[in-house]
Amino acid sequence: MSIEKKGFRHLREGSYPLTRVVGTSVSKVDGYALVTGAPMYADDIAARDFPQRLHGKILTSPIAHGIITAIDTSAAEALPGVHLVLTWKNTPRTFFTTAGQGWPEPSPYDNQMFTERVRFVGDRVAAVFADSSEVADEAVKLIKVTFKEEPAVLSAEDAIRAGAPVVHPESSKGAYDAAHNIAAHVDVNIGDVDKALAESEVSVSETFETHYVQHTPMETHTAFAYMDDMGKLVIVSSTQVPWHSRRIVSRVLGIPMSRLRVIKPRIGGGYGCKQEILIDDLVAYGVIKTGLPCEVELTRREEFVSSRTRHPMKVDMSIGSDAQGNFKALKMHVLSNTGAYGSHSLTVMSNTGSKTLPLYNKARDVRFFGDAVYTNLPVAGAYRGYGATQGYAALETTIDDLAAKLNMDPIELRKKNMIRVGEGSPIFEALGEGREGVAQTIKSSSLPELLDLGAEAIGWKEKRGKRVRVGHKVRGVGMSMHMQGSGIPLIDMASASIKLNEDGTYFLTMGATDIGTGSDTILSQMAAEVLGVTADKISALSSDTDLTPFDVGAYASSTTFVSGGAVIKAAKAVRNQIFAVAAEIFGEELDASLVSAEPKVEHDDSERDPILSFYYMEDGNVVSVRSGKKVSVSEVAYRAFYEVNQHQIAATQSFVSPHSPPPFAAHFVEIELDELTGKIKILKYVAAVDCGVSVNPDLVRGQILGALANGIGFALTEEYHFGSHGNMTNSSLFDYKILSRRDMPPTEVIVVDSYEPTGPLGVKSVAEININGPVPAIGNAIFDATGIRLHKSPYTPEKVLAALHGKSI
């Protein structure tokens, strides 16, 4: 694998602000502890601090749909070492959503801790807390349950048929039409798309289906809870959303938030599945009922069956253009399978259109509509890419089909119709995440350069359409183009606090949730940049609802942009306070309004912070522009703490933005397809990416390569298999193939800088966008090699062979 860094223009060109720490690959702040095996994860901490804790195990449903007519827990309760057995009979009956989203939650309140009705194989039936995992496992086996099995809905198409079994016959607050299995509905219509399609000189309509996959984080869902010395209930959870966890657990158990504390330790991967509150309520209630520390750690099988998945979707895509390839109409219809509960059903489906259709803003008539439906299959939820992955699978393959019909190069067709700097799209304003969106104008984009560099790296002109053969193997090239977002505008909010220590170092506390992405590191770098020190002078503490300020959590590609904005504002506020004390030391006047001015995040090339005309920070010192005098920040701290006008130099700032600047990506792939076996081999993969300013280039590379591993697995190998009764039949890593490091193809990553003026220090996001490329790019390469279009992922050898022989699977 290689990475090519193009430019880092913000470091040395034009009027972009000069940076010293941002743009360098400093080591992760937790790197040494992680690689040396320090007890950093939830289960490690539980074993160290509470060796006598209770261990929880969950009894799940063996049927897809039915009613529990009888349950007998007496034998389990009598087993020595068992302390507690939970069912619907002795737990709160509050309805809630497990989706860790901002309030008010856009997902329906269709879940309870336990209920008499089971809705999928893997649904909760009971839970046991015992002295050991072994005793808890044995106790679970002793629980006797009688079910009245009911007809199940095992596909999205069946869910909306007349007379289909109703998955949620009870009233579900927030569901669009539960009586007809519709959890969520969207319909956004701009212009008259059907008329525009009918009048288009050239049009193409395709249907693409994506499948069930799971996040497979290294660490499964794990949480433990205990009562501290002051009577506060503390939950330590491998969560992406500690504040949402506290709010939801408070609602479910009826406990004031003042009595709850949620701590996020290091996390062994999340990718969206840990944006769900799946076990935090159980461990908390276990502590309430027993008075003892309680832990639940899902097994790998439970993670597959009972956790969360990507929403399988059927996407109908139509594009109309004139004879020159100018888009006239875009029409996208989605049928999304949300599984047994409506977690993220509305917002994922909304993103399928809102993160894709604006990329081609030249079409005046656009319609996006669809339904997310309940089935008796595993529950879908947040997954990296969050709906855009499914949308691009359909959109980008349909564009290649249109290019073939027009006899036009697919890259040129995209260049003709793509969004550019200074432009917007009516979709931005019409469609947000489950509500109306916010008008947006693109202020930074390196997309034209991405396309050119990616095409050059893959050998596009030399290879496309050539169908080079080596025996029974044929080669092809394909590409796809993408945009995403950076947080949810006017919804996502983050806060950060910074205080100065006497030795000139700083303590940064923030709600931002580092889930292995390195956000503690890059946010420390951003603070260090403003404060004129190296990153090691910043100590960071994150994700503790008692000790750190609020943050919505790690999702929606928000951390660098939104949480970074809060850090930049806090750092600037602290810097200005330091300048005020330095002015006293220098005997110089400094206008108090400059010190108290609201810190800005957005950067206008024609402006700079007015206070920087008087002082600046460099290498741990304050320097006066007027006199050239210099004083160390440590001296400033000692004066403020111990001498004149004593006070703590510190600041807390929050950031919410009306902007969500999209990162851009162009993906290219060369494949070799074996016509005898149907196997696809990737010869080379190229990802050209614009994420604004790269705060830490090595971590940027890690995010891109990690997303590619996710995306290539989604395209070729990962897939749930189900039995006839809705049971998953390959719920282990022996049978469910995720890519390992040795499976990754030769990969070239090209990072092309832009400077985003609405973002802190010019940043955008990078974590999600690159998972969206492999399915359409590989599908387009198969089309280039064979002329065959596969309409369903993953591209397994069986599907390829069937298509080669004129059949479908």
pLDDT digits (tens, 9 = 90+) for 720-734: 999 999 999 999 999
What pLDDT score was predicted for residue 14? Answer: 35
Is pLDDT of 642 > 90? yes
Mean pLDDT of 47-55: 97
Task: Give the separation between CA 566 and CA 100, rounded to whole angstroms.
Answer: 21
Is pLDDT of 569 > 90? yes
Instruction: Kindly give, in sequence order, each residue whose CB lies less than 8 Å from that of residue 455, ignoring residues fewer than 6 positions away.
Output: 411, 461, 479, 668
Q: If we measure between CA atoms, which residue out of 209, 206, 235, 241 comes closest to residue 222? A: 235
Is pLDDT of 6 > 90? no
Task: Give the separation between CA 499 and CA 481, rounded to whole angstroms.
Answer: 43
Mean pLDDT of 442-463: 97
What pLDDT score was predicted for residue 607? Answer: 62
What pLDDT score was predicted for residue 1? Answer: 41
Instruction: Kindly give, in sequence order, each residue whose CB lies less than 8 Å from that of residue 481, ignoring residues fewer than 6 positions away.
Output: 359, 396, 414, 418, 447, 451, 664, 665, 666, 667
Quick one: pLDDT band at residue 433, thresholds 50, 70, 90? Answer: confident
Mean pLDDT of 417-429: 96
Reduced to 3 states (helix: H, G, I; strand: E, B; else coil), residue 42 is helix
Q: Which of the residue ranges 413-422, 428-437, 636-645, 697-706 would you say has the lowest mean pLDDT?
A: 428-437
Tell me, what amino acid is at 526?
Answer: M
Vertex 263, ends 257 and 265: CA angle to 5°?
165
What pLDDT score was predicted for residue 10? Answer: 29
Task: Give the separation between CA 111 and CA 251, rounded to whole angstroms.
Answer: 12
Is pLDDT of 354 > 90? yes
Reduced to 3 states (helix: H, G, I; strand: E, B; else coil), residue 631 is strand
Compute CA distances 539 → 263, 514, 542, whole Å: 18, 14, 10
| Helix or strand holding residue 779 (H, E) | helix 774-786
Considering the chain, what percentage of its residues have pLDDT values greater than 70?
97
- Per the model's pLDDT, the better-predicted residue between 807 and 289 turns out to be 289
Q: CA end-to-end span of the chain, whole Å? A: 34
- β-bridge pairing 294-297 and 54-60: parallel
Instruction: Kindly give, in sequence order, each residue whose CB lies less than 8 Å from that of residue 141, ignoring residues fewer than 6 positions away.
Output: none
pLDDT digits 0-9 by tens, 456-494: 999 999 999 999 999 999 999 999 999 999 999 999 999
What pLDDT score was predicted for residue 12? Answer: 27
Mean pLDDT of 691-697: 95
Is the overall model pTM greater than 0.85, yes or no? yes
CA 611 to chain centre: 37
Is pLDDT of 79 > 50? yes
Quick one: pLDDT band at residue 2, thresholds 50, 70, 90? Answer: very low
Tell me, what amino acid is at 686?
Answer: V
Task: Give the separation between CA 236 and CA 243, rounded to whole angstroms.
Answer: 12
| Helix or strand holding residue 317 (H, E) | strand 313-321
Is pLDDT of 16 > 70? no
Compute CA distances 231 → 228, 248, 288, 739, whole Å: 5, 20, 11, 45
What is the layout of strands, in order, in the sheet containing 117-118?
Answer: 117-118, 66-72, 144-149
Cβ distance 519 to 560 under 8 Å? Answer: yes
Quick one: pLDDT band at residue 604, thresholds 50, 70, 90? Answer: low
pLDDT digits 0-9 by tens, 241-254: 999 999 999 999 99
Considering the chain, what percentage of its residues have pLDDT values greater than 90?
93
> From start to end of 675-728, where are the E strands?
680-690
Task: Give the separation between CA 259 and CA 281, rounded to whole angstroms.
Answer: 14
Is pLDDT of 366 > 70? yes
Q: If we measure between CA atoms, which residue out of 566, 771, 556 comes closest to residue 101? A: 556
- Please spell the DSSP secondary structure of 118-176, one letter per residue: E-STT-EEEEEEESSHHHHHHHHHH-EEEEEE-----SHHHHTSTTPPPS--S--BT-S
**What is the average pLDDT score of the chain?**
95
pLDDT digits 0-9 by tens, 505-537: 999 999 999 999 999 999 999 999 999 999 999
Task: Give the separation between CA 292 and CA 277, rounded to whole angstroms.
Answer: 21
- Residue 180 buriedness (CB in 10 A; 0-12 / 13-18 / 19+): middle
H-state helical runs in 50-88: 74-78
pLDDT digits 0-9 by tens, 208-267: 999 999 999 999 999 999 999 999 999 999 999 999 999 999 999 999 999 999 999 999
Mean pLDDT of 698-708: 96
What pLDDT score was predicted for residue 17? Answer: 53
Is pLDDT of 389 > 90? yes
Task: Give the separation between CA 35 and CA 250, rounded to whole angstroms.
Answer: 36
Tell me, what amino acid is at 345?
Answer: S
pLDDT digits 0-9 by tens, 147-187: 999 999 999 999 999 999 999 998 778 999 999 999 999 99
What pLDDT score was predicted for residue 637? Answer: 98
Please give the structure tokens belonging to residue 450. Answer: 């991405």
Q: If we measure between CA atoms, which residue out of 705, 618, 735, 563 comes closest to residue 1? A: 705
Handedness of CA 558, 559, 563, 564 (dihedral sign): negative
Please give the structure tokens belonging to residue 618. Answer: 């460099």
Greatest C-alpha distance within the chain: 86
What pLDDT score was predicted for residue 375? Answer: 98
Is pLDDT of 589 > 70? yes
Task: Give the separation between CA 774 and CA 779, rounded to whole angstroms.
Answer: 8
Cβ distance 540 to 508 under 8 Å? Answer: yes
Quick one: pLDDT band at residue 5, thresholds 50, 70, 90? Answer: very low
- Domains of the chain by range and CATH? 1-17+443-485+661-809 (3.30.365.10), 42-150+215-305 (3.90.1170.50), 492-655 (3.30.365.10)
What pLDDT score was predicted for residue 18? Answer: 58
Is pLDDT of 780 > 50? yes
Handedness of CA 108, 112, 117, 122 (dihedral sign): positive
What pLDDT score was predicted for residue 8? Answer: 31
Is pLDDT of 605 > 80? no
Cβ distance 653 to 713 under 8 Å? Answer: no
Is pLDDT of 709 > 50? yes
